């Protein structure tokens, strides 16, 4: 029995597991075909939009033409599909990964930097070689639980999780929120609770209801918290 520990991170890190079974069969093919058609349609409609600068002001320039080879992968905020609502259920620890799970990292710089230093991702693959997991990183530096600025018409987190048909989600939040000071801790707890409730009420993989379990504690100060999670075969 192998175990993977992820300890002593000075940040809130939540674990959201959305499904224990991958999608398969005719229903999955229909869903994937519909998703591909939607992405292609939204890419065609984007060519008429004007470019905006860093201050979100129009530049007066037309957007460059879309490359058809890449347009099918675009996720636009005004047209990308969203997951259906579902009833949440509790996630138990240690987390048990299933073969073919889609694992997604979201949150702030902790997981954003995993694109460059993929130790956690590598350990997951190393301890679960037979699972054939698919891991994607959707984290964005400086993201907060309910403050995630993006370029004009960039798909939001729900839309990207839907596109990835996420089964398991690792979320890292809390460091950026800590700069608001100790007096902001009650408000952060409410924001965090709202984020959890929204996330576990979506069937991102298109079929099953989510499971969630979060565990964190204070280290040094109440706004610097750590999370320990175990992956067990």
> For the chain, what is the domain count?
1
Query: What is the pTM for the complete model shown?
Result: 0.67
Model pLDDT, residue 88: 80
Q: Which domain holds residue 165?
A: 3-53+63-232
**Is 185 among the domain residues?**
yes
Model pLDDT, residue 51: 63
Q: Could you give the 3-state DSSP secondary structure of residue 104?
A: strand
**Is 212 among the domain residues?**
yes
Rounded CA separation 181/168 (Å): 31
- For the chain, where are the alpha helices, taking DSSP H only? 26-45, 68-71, 109-112, 119-127, 157-163, 185-199
**Is 77 among the domain residues?**
yes
Low-confidence ranges of the chain (pLDDT < 70): 1-51, 53-55, 209-233
**Is 58 among the domain residues?**
no
Model pLDDT, residue 220: 39
Model pLDDT, residue 33: 60
Rounded CA separation 163/167 (Å): 12
**Is 103 among the domain residues?**
yes
């Amino acid at each position: 029995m192998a175990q993977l520990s992820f300890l002593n991170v000075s940040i809130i890190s939540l674990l959201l597991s959305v499904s224990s079974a991958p999608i398969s069969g005719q229903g999955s093919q229909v869903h994937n075909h519909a998703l591909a058609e939607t992405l292609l349609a939204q890419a065609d409609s984007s060519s008429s939009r004007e470019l905006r600068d860093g201050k979100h002001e129009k530049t007066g320039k037309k957007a460059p033409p879309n490359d058809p080879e890449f347009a099918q992968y675009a996720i636009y905020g005004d047209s990308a599909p969203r997951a259906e609502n579902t009833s949440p259920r509790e996630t138990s620890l240690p987390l048990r990964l299933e073969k073919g799970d889609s694992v997604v990292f979201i949150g702030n710089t902790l997981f954003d930097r995993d694109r460059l230093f993929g130790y956690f991702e590598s350990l997951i693959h190393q301890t679960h070689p037979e699972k054939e997991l698919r891991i994607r990183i959707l984290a964005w530096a400086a993201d907060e639980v309910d403050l995630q600025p993006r370029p004009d018409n960039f798909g939001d987190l729900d839309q990207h999780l839907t596109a990835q048909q996420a089964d398991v989600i690792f979320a890292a939040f809390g460091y950026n929120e800590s700069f608001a000071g100790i007096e902001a801790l009650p408000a952060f707890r409410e924001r965090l609770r709202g984020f959890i409730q929204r996330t576990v009420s979506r069937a991102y993989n298109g079929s099953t209801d989510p499971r969630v379990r979060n565990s964190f504690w204070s280290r040094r100060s109440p706004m610097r918290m750590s999370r320990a999670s175990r992956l067990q075969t």
